[in-house]
Amino acid sequence: MSARRALVLGGAGFLGSHLCERLLSEGWEVTALDDFSTGSPTNVACLRALPGFKLERRDVTSPLQVKGPFSWVFNLASPASPVHYQADPVKTTLTNVLGTLHALELAVKYRARLLQASTSEVYGDPEVHPQPEAYWGHVNPIGLRSCYDEGKRCAESLAMDFVRTQGVDLRLVRIFNTYGPRMAVDDGRVVSNFIVQALRGDDLTVYGEGSQTRSFCYVDDLIEGFLRFMRQERELGPINLGNPLEFTVLELARLVSEITGSRSRIVRLPLPADDPKLRRPDVSKARALLGFEPRVSLREGLTRTIEALATTLARDGSGVHVIPGGRRPEHAPVARGAS
C-alpha cells in the first residue's frame, strides 16, 4: 500500500480544501470527493493543476467506488452551518449517517486510518462548561438543529461500532467553531455573517442579547490538530479540537466592526431555537496527547478572513463598502477562561 495517499470526503469544502492543500504540501497524493452542495471547485482551483491532486464529484450518500489504496481517509462530508444543514434536513441526516457508513466501508476495504469529523454540537446546549469529551451532552433530538446534532451523534456511534466489530483504525475528532479564508459568503455562521455584513455596510445581526459565548479556532490551527491526531498511535478519540478562549457573540461583532472600520449598527433579533448559550472546548486531552495549542489569535485570524471575504465579494460584484483595516481598534475584547 502506498504510504502517502489520502482520500478526503468533502474535499472542496471550507475545511476540506485547507486539509487537501496541507497534505499536498507534505508530499501526499490526494483524492478529494465532493458533491458541491456546500463546497466549491473554486476552493481547490489552485490545487487542480498539481499532479498529486484529483477531484471527483460524488455524493457520499451513495456507495463509494473509489480506486485506492489509501493510507488515510478523512470524512469531512457534511454541511456544517445552520443555514445549510436546515435547508434540507433529511439530506443532512443521510449525509452524516450513510456518508459515514460509506467512509467506514472504505476504511475497512483499504485498511486505512479514518478521521471522522464530528462536532461540538454533539454536546447540544450544554449543562457542563467547558465541555470535556466525557460529557454526554444535552441535545434536543427532535428540534430544528437535530438533523445535524443527532446525525453527528449517530455517526459517532456507527464509527465506534465499526471499531469494535471491524477493527477500524479510527480517529474521532469533535470540532469546535472554526473560521478562516474560503468560508462561503452565504455560510450563515456567526463569523462569516458579521464579516459580510460589515463589509457591505449592513446591520450586524446579533441573536438574543449577544451574551451567548463561542470559542473561535483559526482553520490552520485546526488542520494542524487533525494531522497530529492522525500521526499518533495511542488514542482513537473522541478528542476536542478548538480554541479554548471564549468570547461573547457581542464581543465578536464589535471586534469585526473595529477591524473592518465599518459603521454598521449592531441590531438584535430573536434567539433561534436550541441555540447553545455556552460553547468552549476542554482541550486538556489534545494538549496532553498531541501538544495541541492554537497559535493564531482571534484578531489575526479575523484580519486574514476579512481580507479573503472582501476579495470574494469584490470578485462576485456583491459590493464592498468598507476597506478592511481602514480603522484599527484601540482595544480588543479580553478572552476569558482558557481551559
Is there a contact between 269 and 206 (Cβ–Cβ < 8 Å)? Answer: yes
Is there a contact between 33 and 56 (Cβ–Cβ < 8 Å)? Answer: yes
DSSP conformational letter for 209: T
Helix, strand, coil shares of the chain as percentages rounded to 5? Answer: 40, 15, 45
Q: Is residue 24 part of a domain?
A: yes
Enclosing domain of residue 119: 5-178+217-241
Distance of CA 102 to the CA centre of its chain: 20
pLDDT for 334: 40
Q: Is residue 231 part of a domain?
A: yes
Q: CATH number for the domain including 127?
A: 3.40.50.720
Q: Is residue 26 part of a domain?
A: yes
Q: Which of 14, 214, 196 lies closest to 131 in space, CA to CA?
A: 214
Q: Is residue 222 part of a domain?
A: yes
Residues noted as catalytic: 148
What pLDDT, in 10s, does the model give residues 36-95? 999 999 999 999 989 999 999 999 999 999 999 999 999 999 988 788 888 899 999 999
Give Dmax (Cα) for the chain: 57
Which is more confident, 336 or 82?
82
pLDDT for 276: 77
Q: What value does the CA radius of gyration of the chain take, rounded to a whole number of Å?
A: 19
Distance of CA 96 to the CA centre of its chain: 14
Q: What percent of the chain has pLDDT over 90?
A: 79
Residue 68 backbone zone (phi > 0: left; psi -120 to 50: alpha; other: beta): beta
Mean pLDDT of 189-209: 93
**Confidence check: pLDDT of 333 > 70:** no
What pLDDT, in 10s, does the model give residues 235-253? 999 999 999 999 999 999 9
State which of 28-32, 37-41, 123-127, 312-316 shows the largest mean pLDDT: 28-32
pLDDT category at 224 given cuts 50, 70, 90 is very high
pLDDT for 337: 41
Instruction: Render 180-201 in DSSP notation, one character per residue.
Output: -TT--TT--SHHHHHHHHHHHT
Q: Is residue 188 part of a domain?
A: no
Q: Is residue 230 part of a domain?
A: yes
pLDDT for 270: 87
Which is more confident, 15 or 86?
15
Domain count, the chain: 1
Is there a contact between 6 and 32 (Cβ–Cβ < 8 Å)? Answer: no
Distance between CA atoms of residues 271 and 269, nearest Å: 6
What pLDDT, in 10s, does the model give residues 294-316? 999 999 999 999 999 999 998 87
Q: Is residue 272 part of a domain?
A: no
HSE (side-chain half, CA atoms, 13 Å) at 93: 11
User: What are the C-alpha distances in Å from 28 to residues 8, 53, 76, 123, 159?
Assistant: 12, 9, 18, 34, 25
**Confidence check: pLDDT of 214 > 50:** yes
Q: Is residue 269 part of a domain?
A: no
Close Cβ partners of 172 (under 8 Å, ≥ 6 residues apart): 115, 116, 118, 156, 159, 160, 236, 237, 238, 239
Distance of CA 132 to the CA centre of its chain: 18
Say whether 247 sits in a helix, a strand or coil.
Answer: strand
Distance between CA atoms of residues 264 and 315, nearest Å: 22
pLDDT category at 330 given cuts 50, 70, 90 is very low
The interaxial angle of helices 298-316 and 190-200, nearest 10 deg, is: 60
Question: 247-248 and 178-179 as β-strands: parallel, antiparallel, unpaired?
Answer: unpaired
